[in-house]
Chains A and B, each alone.
Chain A
Amino acid sequence: MRRWINRYSITFGLIGLAVLGWNLYVAAHRDGLLTGRVAAADGSAIAGATVKVRERTMVSSEPRAEAKTDAQGRFRVEGLDYHHLLVEVEAQGFKPLPRQSVRLWFRGQNRALEAPLTMERAG
């Protein structure tokens, strides 16, 4: 038994364990959900805003999904099997929000945006 414990078996064993652990974590957190909140500069919720999600590829970006915010300004976008997202928001009476980059550690990672997407009033 002892002859099998050497720097090679320990190194490759640890790498194998790390890969296994990471894959288990990915399997448990991979539903492709993006949630967040859209608010005005004064903090009030913006209902009915359109949240568009694009996939950022190496040389371009492609539109993938969109959702509307509810009365509390919350949105939930599903089925995002991508690892680099661009989020843009449009709402009547507000300036369009420039694209926000959302980087994920793996495709389809569930992500809740902590800070609200803040929009400026038009005019």
Chain B
Amino acid sequence: MGRHPTWPIHLALVAVSFVMLVPFYWVLKTSVTGENIFSYPPSVVPRDVNLFYYVDVWYYIPFVRFLFNSVAVSAIAVVSNVVFNALAAYALTRRFPGRKWVILLFLSCMMIPFQATIIPAYLITQKLGLLNTHLGLALPLCSTIVCIFVYKASFEAVPRSLIDAARIDGVPDWQIIFRIMLPLSKPAIATNVILSFIWSWNSFLWPLIVTRDKAMQTLPLGLSTFLSYLENTTGALYAFCVMVLVPGIVLFLLAQREFIQGLTSGATKG
């Protein structure tokens, strides 16, 4: 018996990849041609290619300031996710009364969309005096439940005997987390970094609500600048989209091996 041919699977994968990549191609193509989205028939092959729409984006909005804000907010979100989620995940790997209820509570909270909690989140941020600050912009993304469970799966794969040995040697819990658990959970760290970075980088609604002045706006808010009724700003709009997307794509491509390991670790655990 010969092996089943793999080409049908590859053909299907190529077709699916094509469908998924078409929107990215269209954004990239429009960013270098400025072709109006209403032009008919639309051209599949780019014509009159130029990069000047990127120059327009750089100068029409305070791009460097927006970039700094986005980087600052993402850095806060990434660092706090890596630290706080590790603490929460470690606690969930310990035995304590009501542990299952806490896990159930966490899982049920994942089903509540952020839009539904945005008013309490705003009021808390206001009480803390963090409106219109980088910390306030990052606050709702400082710990995310999905990432806690990524850590939890990774921590549960660490041999119990290792933790028991550390305990016998009198190592406190916080040192067990930072000196034993985290060095053994690099894929989970990478997953936390990538997910928290992408979520904070692309966040639109929360920054829209908590920022008061233009100097505190993040990159996704700059998109509204290019929505003009008077002029055809299609090229600049799409060039801006590419400029916002590129850092996330670069980060993902750099850390994709760890990212995939992090998402799949614990997947085969019984």
Q: Which residues of chain A have a CB within 8 Å of any CB of chain B?
A: 7-8, 11, 57-59, 83-84, 103-107
Q: Which residues of chain B have a CB within 8 Å of any CB of chain A?
A: 50, 52, 55-56, 59-60, 225-226, 228, 230-231, 233, 236, 250, 254
Quick one: given A11-B250, A11-B254, A58-B236, are A103 and B228 in contact (CB under 8 Å)? no
A83 & B250 in contact (Cβ 8 Å cutoff): no
Label chain B's interface by main secondary structure: helix
**Least CB distance, B194 to chain A, in whole angstroms:** 13
What 17 additional pairs, Cβ within 8 angstroms, besides A83-B59, A105-B55?
A8-B254, A11-B250, A57-B60, A58-B56, A58-B60, A58-B226, A58-B228, A58-B236, A59-B231, A83-B56, A84-B52, A84-B55, A84-B56, A103-B50, A103-B55, A105-B52, A107-B59
**Least CB distance, B63 to chain A, in whole angstroms:** 12
Label chain A's interface by main secondary structure: loop
List 22 contacting pairs A-B, 8 Å CB cutoff, sorted by A.
Answer: A7-B254, A11-B254, A57-B60, A58-B60, A58-B226, A58-B228, A58-B231, A58-B233, A58-B236, A59-B228, A59-B230, A59-B231, A83-B55, A83-B56, A83-B59, A84-B55, A84-B56, A103-B50, A103-B52, A104-B55, A105-B55, A106-B55
Q: What residue of chain B has the Cβ atom nearest to residue A56's Cβ?
A: B56
Contacts of B52 in A (CB 8 A): 84, 103, 105
Contacts of A106 in B (CB 8 A): 55
**Least CB distance, B163 to chain A, in whole angstroms:** 28
Contacts of B254 in A (CB 8 A): 7-8, 11
A103 and B250 alpha carbons, distance in the complex (Å) = 29
**Least CB distance, A29 to chain B, in whole angstroms:** 14
Contacts of A105 in B (CB 8 A): 52, 55
Q: Nearest 8 pairs between A and B by C-beta?
A: A103-B52, A58-B60, A59-B230, A59-B231, A83-B59, A83-B55, A7-B254, A8-B254
A22 and B267 alpha carbons, distance in the complex (Å) = 46
Q: What residue of chain B has the Cβ atom nearest to residue A101's Cβ?
A: B52
Indicate the member of B228, B230, B254 with the most A CB atoms within 10 Å: B254
A7 and B190 alpha carbons, distance in the complex (Å) = 14
Q: What residue of chain B has the Cβ atom nearest to residue A8's Cβ?
A: B254
